[in-house]
Amino acid sequence: MLLIAFLRFGPNKAAAPQHMEGRQAWLAAGLADGVLLASGSLVPTEGQGGGGAVLAHGLTRAAFEARLAEDPFVAEGVVEADVQVIDISRADPRLAFLAEGAA
């Protein structure tokens, strides 16, 4: 399974700079743990602001949501998370691990 959190700017967007160091530490810990696969910025489209996304694997949805709650950007209202889960049934061999077992 692949878990994706789409992060849209929240009511406290202006506070992002003061929480950036904690956010970077949170991301680094998740990558080091092998739970987070990638993170990045959403490219704004007409009529929609930017934000970000975090991809994870090896967690239940509840565990991922709990981990997201510890992200300083989420905890401080800089962003709001919309979690989606993809039950991978077919994948390129490089991503076969996503189809193995249930998260």
DSSP per residue, 73-94? HHHTTSEEEEEEEE------GG
Q: For residue 101, what pLDDT is reported?
A: 56
- Do the Cβ atoms of 97 and 32 come closer than 8 Å? no
> How far is the C-alpha of 22 from the C-alpha of 76, rounded, in Å?
11
Once rounded to an integer, what is the mean pLDDT over residues 76-99? 93
Q: pLDDT digits over 17-45, tens only?
A: 999 999 999 999 999 999 999 999 988 87
Q: What is the pTM of this model?
A: 0.88
Q: For residue 46, what pLDDT is reported?
A: 74
Q: For residue 50, what pLDDT is reported?
A: 79
Which domains does the chain show, CATH number per domain? 2-99 (3.30.70.1060)
41 beta partners: 52
